[in-house]
Copies of this chain bind each other. A is one copy, B any other.
């Protein structure tokens, strides 16, 4: 049964999830971020095991989540979403500040950010679900958060293979 059309109606935001390995910094586009509990505040993020950010979050046990603005250009999403940190230093050309967990906190096109410390790691096959307790957060500016829908429809953005929602063809 083809359940892809039904699944494609699930709503998501668009985020950069970042972490570090000592001095090395990396981050990637993620659409799968949600709050799991309110007290304590915990968030879940799903990350492909092949990604460098996955390695960094696994090793450091910390990550930051930056909420992208609707005004984020495709080029910027391309840098963080379609390139691997193994081939490019993504933060070399981005504005950021060190977060209290040691993760870089992106400032470009970022409405807000929060940081978390991993409490549970769930092996879901191709992806790992990291559940982290939120340790801090900050709003940088007003504006509308980018949704995955806006990215796909208004910006005609593509979905890389390896995403949780990849469907084999670009839509």
List residues of A whose CB falls within 8 A of some B CB.
1-7, 9-13, 31-44, 46, 67, 111-114, 120, 122, 124-127, 129, 131, 134-139, 145, 147-148, 163-167
Question: What B residues does A111 contact at CB under 8 A?
Answer: 9
Q: Is the CB of B10 within 8 A of A136?
A: no
Contacts A11-B11, A44-B44, A114-B6 hold; do A38 and B166 have CB atoms under 8 A apart?
Answer: yes
Return the chain B residue nearest A126 by Cβ. Answer: B37
Tell whether, in the assembled complex, residue B3 and residue A35 are in contact, meaning their CB atoms are under 8 Å apart. Answer: no
Closest chain B residue to A164, Cβ basis: B35
Flag if B165 contacts A7 (CB, 8 Å).
no
Asked if A124 and B131 make an inter-chain contact with CB atoms under 8 angstroms apart, the answer reads: yes
CB of B9 within 8 A of CB of A125, answer no
Q: Which residues of chain B are near A3, meaning CB under 8 Å?
A: 41, 114, 134-138
7 contacting pairs across A/B (C-beta < 8 A): A1-B136, A3-B136, A10-B34, A10-B67, A11-B13, A36-B127, A39-B126
Beyond A9-B112, A11-B12, A11-B147, list 10 extra A-B contacts (CB 8 Å): A3-B41, A10-B33, A32-B34, A32-B36, A34-B164, A35-B46, A35-B165, A38-B126, A38-B165, A120-B122
Q: Assess the A9–B39 pair: CB atoms within 8 A.
A: no
| Chain B residues whose CB sits within 8 angstroms of the CB of A39 once the complex forms | 126
B9, B13, B124, B138: the one contacting A6 at CB < 8 Å is B138
